Amino acid sequence: MKLLVFAGSTRSGSFNRRLAREAAAMARAAGAEVTHIELGDFDVPMYNADAEAIATPPDVMKLKQVFHDHPAWIVCTPEYNASYPALLKNLLDWLSSPVRGDPVWSDDFRFSRGKVVGVLSASPGALGGLRSQSHLIPLLFNLHCWVAPQTYALGRAGDAFDPAGKLVDDRARARVQGVIDQVLHAAARLHTP
């Protein structure tokens, strides 16, 4: 199963980027064909319909294809002001925007329709980003995704990783693995030729 893993953060010390790296490694160990992307590697400007009318940015077009090519996704979302960050919303706004006149990408939900998505979050607080998940999941439903019912919010994330970036708590690893396993299982059932 092809699995896309990414974090909704570009901050160098991001707990969610650490969690995404760990989830990607765990999914590879579970047999998935994993693509782990860093959003900071792509030039995605703030969404502007006037700019879009001129041309969709090249990196947005690349990301549309990357997301489309993966039946399963794991997204690790930070929590800012009790919701998901603007970076993540901006990305999804661009990806879901149809490209006028393009025979392939005029379908706004082509990149996301039917994808199975697992939602993880990490935060220094006790709730672990749970409130960001509660806002992100309805957006994913709106994008015609299947969202795995099992999610995980990693609280007290400042103490959750060792210097190599590995989760130190076996219970946390098991919860992350549970989300990965559920996503891979559901995606295999939904996307069997």
What is the arithmetic mean of pLDDT over 135-158? 97
- Helices (H) then strands (E): counts for the chain: 6, 6
pLDDT of residue 191: 83
In angstroms, rounded to a whole number, what is the distance separating the alpha carbons of residues 92 and 38? 15
Q: Mean pLDDT across the stretch 64-72?
A: 98
37's tokens: 């992307």
Q: Which residue has the tokens 């579970």?
A: 30
Per-residue pLDDT tens over the stretch 6-63: 999 999 999 999 999 999 999 999 999 999 999 999 999 999 999 999 999 999 999 9
DSSP 125: S
Give the chain's domains with CATH numbers.
2-190 (3.40.50.360)
pTM: 0.96
Segment 162-177, tens digit of pLDDT: 999 999 999 999 999 9
